[in-house]
Structure 1
Amino acid sequence: MTTLFDLTNTVVPTGKVKVPPRPAAKPHAKISVGGVEITEDAIRDEAQHHPASSPAAAFDAAARALVVRALLVNEAAAKGIVVTPESVAIGKRETDEEAAIRGLLDAEVHTPSADTEACRRFYDANPRKFCSETLYEARHILFAAPESAPEKRQQAKSQAEAVLGILAEAPGRFAELALEFSACPSKGQGGSLGQLTKGSTVPEFEAALFTLEPGQLAPTPVASQFGYHIIRLERIVEGKQLPFGMVEPRIAAWLEASSWSRAVAQYVSILASKADITGINMNAADGPLVQ
């Protein structure tokens, strides 16, 4: 089968000069667990489930995941663990291997429940994690113009500046002018965008909004990928500390999940230290073995 590497290594004539072939890709070491090879094709198939900064990093993460899977499947088989697959989503069931791994971890990995005292300590040590978000009530008038149309952008900017001048003299006309000029569906609500939280609008809009005081108009039209916006901040609803009783179940679930992940990673490390693994150094992973 001809691969991409075969094609890039072909010498292509250009007149009397031949372009030298590119260096061949460095072959990956064969990876095996207990004498059973994990093929490159299997690793490449798995790599799609491991987003990374580069193909090499995705390949490495996928290889580690398959080694972990093999370790767990082998251990489940050695212990004679057979578990009936369960439904994990509508129309989807576990594979036999996934069920065996679940049964193995249920039998071998035990972690304590998070009690109220532990949850309270975490709550007191991380108060900012348990605040409601600050809400910003805002209105805008959008003068639409894509970035790919410079002339239309300039026209939209000029129109926005003219309407902003009107609002400076008659701020009470915002809803009327939004209905007349805005290209956003919010014009039917006087330009109201309702309650916004950090990250719910494009960065340029948000940066301008967060500099305003309630009742204040942005002094100039704000450019975004959609065009130019006239923005007015109506009200700020400051975030508040959530009571411990409201968040205790969430804290308990997080602490228990975190504890379980660490215990599983330690268990896999023990299995790896006893197994015959070739082609990859499982101790060199930057992150936990099991995520």
Structure 2
Amino acid sequence: MKRSQALILGGLASLALLSGCNQKGATESARTDTAPQEKQVAESSSGPALAVVNGEPITREDVMAFVQYKQQIQPNAQINPALLVNEMINTKLLVQEAERKGLDKREEVQRQLQVHRAAVLVNALVGDFLKGLDLSDEELRKEYDAQIAGIEKHEYKARHILLKDKDKAEKVLKELKPDGSNFAELAKKYSEGPSGRNGGDLGWFAASSMVPEFGDAVKQMKKGEISKQPVKSEFGWHIIWLEDVRDTPVPSFEESKERLKMIVAQKKLQEHIAELREKAKIEVQGMRPPTSRPDTMPPAEESSESAAPQPMQAPDEPVNP
């Protein structure tokens, strides 16, 4: 969900940076103390202020919202509350300075603020929608069965040497020992693909995850075999050594449950968006409106335990099992 996250996090970033933008009456000084006369201003429905910057409060709730934003950007980062408050004070000062210069009145800034406001609202709506879902095991099991049905029976572990020139590939092929004992050495020496530095190691992969010519060749080979001829693909000529074959590991239903919830919830959200589009009056100027559902939420990222087939790729980099 990288694109959705980028939009949402962008909105949260702006929310944190622009908190208090609509509060006026800032003085020209940059005092950050909490003098008694300012404490009364600082008391609000959001609770007592942790700091007051030119009469504008930074509350505990403001800090918590900023913490959540930070954790989404850097999940494992250690957050120092004192430093965070200081960072928010600096942000508040910069916002006040921008307002004094009238930057918030600029047309392009207003447009950006509207975009960020929309992102925050969408994030809130999606959160409410997902919280309201009550997914049954029956729904999850149905999705699990569909995912399992798409899994290939076998996975392959192979190395390759990639060369642009066929004649050179044939010469390298003749240097290889039948048992593959010098394959990694020759891959490091000759391969023109990124995996060459790793001895041509591609790790475990499904045949369908590779370009068709490579995947088809691997499926026809036996364990321990080196391709008799270089295999041509759009990337060049491949000399392949099939090191091992195994049954594709399939995660159990219980192991997949959390991921299944995410997938089913995503589908339901897409269906909800489709319903909104059906009910809405949409006029698109200068282009044809899409007939399919918009790619509002890209497919969930696959983990190593994913039951879904991997996307096709070039056999140039090691593939995680």
TM-score by length of 1: 0.48
TM-score by length of 2: 0.44
